[in-house]
Chains A and B, each alone.
Chain A
């Protein structure tokens, strides 16, 4: 089976942004193609067009020299184009089998035989009759892949498939993908991870700002060359110098942290104990959904737990709410910028006032002192190089990077002794990531402490003095950052043990 897919001059324009600008590419079966680019480079739009979810403004798609119209996901299915989305398209409350049967025209018994064959052939282990919400991220992805395989795909598109996987799961995925490729399925692999491109793919197309800037054989590329193509400039990377905190003052001590939830979507935390020195950065690694958001909410005071002791600067603060904790000079930057950290419909200065409504002089006799808030906001905008000086702008019009700078700035301008942040650079481009990293390293150098909870290991290795891993609500041993390797983290993140 020889498949040839040609994309010709595809353009898609959203208000204020050209997502795809005359993109042309050619793919043939038997090879794995990487589509590489930063966030916002236009990869996702392109694959949404190929899967029929989004309609292009211009351009054509040819499959085996036939011009195909992809007006809906059904058209993509009819043409045997399968797609595994980054954010899974599964129905969480339905069982695995129901998820598979929903768009299949086969009888249930027939389908079950077919699915069992696929499970056996690729050595997948999934219980077909439990609800999807009980599966791990890696298993959910397998369900998505099986859903594509049922339809005998000619083309299989994987959008950022490893962002939720452990190292082991990633390896398993690569083995499967290589198998599919040998069987003649054309694979298009979307990613921004350079190592994966080199280890898995045969050819790589780099996208930047909606355009294809290079197509090449991966044998001719190295990590640095791809990175420069992707970003379009030479990158300097910040690196932290390792300090010794043996004699420093202890600023935070947490003991007996336990949390049990009735909610099946939440993770229980089991006996967490750790402490933090002045000026130190503790990194907490882990695959998302292993208790990070619960831990963050307990640190910030959104969840109050029984019998937990949180000593911060020699005071017991475990029963204090987030506002009271801020008064003791703690600061928090939650994972979700849009729904937890800022109110997108409010103006910049209003968002700045939100977490300072008690401790500052923004309010007099219950009335808002706009002038003072605006002055303060301007200071944040300039000190933290947010790309605007208009404090009247609604926060939703800031890009992710600028919004994050505003949020971190809002927290840091009050000189807190401890900053807790959760995935601080999630979804940001390289420039903004570098800026946030420099800022976080800076505060440590000024003697302030930080806890960084992140799913990005490179980030943690860059920022932390000590690192531990959270897995199924339990913390691993806390290790000095200079003794930690990505491989070690990977083992711990997958529930394995080292030494």
Chain B
């Protein structure tokens, strides 16, 4: 029986690992959206993060620099989005879509020379405990530092939004940028910061994919995870804790259905592959159906262009 229990532990550990990029990107986007900005460029920023992280790792042979670089590159391309939508007042949706298309193309171009190069082993923490503690070992130990950070992030984000002054200001700007501006809050500064933070988190999510989860560069390796992260934010009704739950369900069913496919259940593969998407949406819709709460959590000005009276 001890084999079974350890197997379940390993499975849970794998589920946690697969949900990390979703948590990171979704928590970043959540802050952006809470300030009233809808950035559909998550996928693009993630993949730019993935290629820059990997390229830097190959060039410098330094993982720390690679991770920092991926965050910086996510941040830099989100500056383009911020400049266009906040200073030049372009439409959020169109600009975000363009950013994703740009990111995918750009990453493919940079990545040409990095295809087929093997990744470097990322240091994992508490590896000895992973093997010695039954069941809990593979769940709690032997992960990268980024995974621990990702699982802390929803709680930090929640605390930030609910209990800090700056979090309050972010929510206020998302509620009504005009009122915020009339109260003397620098709306542009707040929105720029939130967009840039979102960009950095998406970059980090990309780095996790190309440096830790599958340490190599493959074109289009984010595989739609950016879009899932975006959907998570909306279906979790802008609550970081629900984002965590949604990401775990999505990761969990993705892993489980792979095992089910391997076992050879007589269910069409297509249906199994669609399962994570369907289940995540159903669960999140069910846990967030209180329409009053949705109203209070939804950034009222989401996607609206704001310009200051002169």
Contact = CB atoms under 8 A, between A and B. Distances in A.
A457 interface: no
A94 B179 contact: no
Interface string B174-197: 011011111111000000000000
B292 A73 contact: no
A265 B179 CA distance: 19
A92 B300 contact: yes
A89 B300 CA distance: 14
B164 to A, nearest CB: 11
A205 B209 CA distance: 68
Contacts of B296: 93, 131, 133
Given A73-B184, A77-B184, A93-B300, A101 B168 contact: yes
A73 B178 CA distance: 12
A91 B184 contact: no
Interface in A39-53: 48, 51-53
A254 interface: no
A91 B171 CA distance: 9
Indicate the member of A91, A92, A94 with the most B CB atoms within 10 Å.
A91
A98 interface: yes
Contact of A74 (B176, B184, B291): B184
Contact of B295 (A53, A55, A103, A264): A264
B172 A72 contact: no
Contact of A54 (B175, B178, B309): B309
B169 interface: yes
Interface residues of A, number: 28
Contacts of B295: 93, 133, 263-265
A264 B296 CA distance: 10
Interface string A247-291: 000000000000000111100000000000000000000000000
A89 B177 CA distance: 10
Nearest to B178: A89
B190 to A, nearest CB: 12
A93 B291 contact: no
Contact of B179 (A51, A52, A91, A133): A91
A102 B169 contact: yes
B172 A102 contact: yes
B174 to A, nearest CB: 8
Contact of B181 (A73, A88, A101, A265): A73
Interface string A317-349: 000000000000000000000000000000000
Given A77-B184, A103-B183, A265-B295, A53 B176 contact: no
Binding site secondary structure of chain A: loop
Interface in B137-189: 165, 168-169, 171-172, 175-176, 178-185
Contacts of A73: 181-184
A72 B296 CA distance: 29
A74 B292 CA distance: 33
A90 interface: yes
A89 B179 contact: yes
Contacts of B176: 89-92
A51 B296 CA distance: 29
Nearest to B172: A91
B172 A94 contact: yes
B188 to A, nearest CB: 12
B220 interface: no
Contacts of B169: 102
Given A263-B291, A264-B295, A98 B168 contact: yes
A249 B191 CA distance: 61
A287 to B, nearest CB: 22
B310 interface: yes
B182 A53 contact: yes
B6 interface: no
Interface in B257-280: none
A262 B291 contact: yes
A89 B183 contact: yes
A85 interface: yes
B304 interface: no
Interface in B275-296: 291-292, 295-296
Given A92-B175, A93-B296, A94-B175, A102 B168 contact: yes
B95 interface: no
Given A102-B169, A265-B295, A90 B179 contact: yes
A23 B131 CA distance: 81
Given A85-B182, A89-B182, A131-B296, A94 B171 contact: yes
B184 to A, nearest CB: 4
Nearest to A101: B168
Contacts of A51: 182
Nearest to B291: A262
Interface string B123-143: 000000000000000000000
B34 to A, nearest CB: 11
Contacts of A92: 175-176, 300
A315 B176 CA distance: 45
A71 B67 CA distance: 42
A90 B169 CA distance: 12
Contacts of B184: 52, 72-74, 77, 103
Contacts of A93: 171, 175, 295-298, 300
A98 B165 CA distance: 9
Nearest to A75: B184
A103 B185 CA distance: 8
A372 B93 CA distance: 39
A133 to B, nearest CB: 7
Contacts of B171: 91, 93-94, 98
B106 to A, nearest CB: 36
Nearest to A85: B182
A485 to B, nearest CB: 37
Nearest to B299: A93
Interface string A360-396: 0000000000000000000000000000000000000
Indicate the member of B165, B175, B298, B310 with the most A CB atoms within 10 Å.
B175
A474 B156 CA distance: 46
14 contacts: A51-B182, A53-B181, A54-B310, A74-B184, A88-B179, A89-B179, A90-B179, A92-B176, A92-B300, A93-B171, A93-B295, A103-B185, A263-B295, A264-B295
Given A73-B183, A91-B180, 4 more contacts: A51-B182, A88-B179, A94-B168, A102-B185
* 10 closest residue pairs by CB, A with B: A74-B184, A89-B179, A73-B184, A91-B175, A91-B172, A89-B182, A93-B296, A262-B291, A93-B175, A103-B183
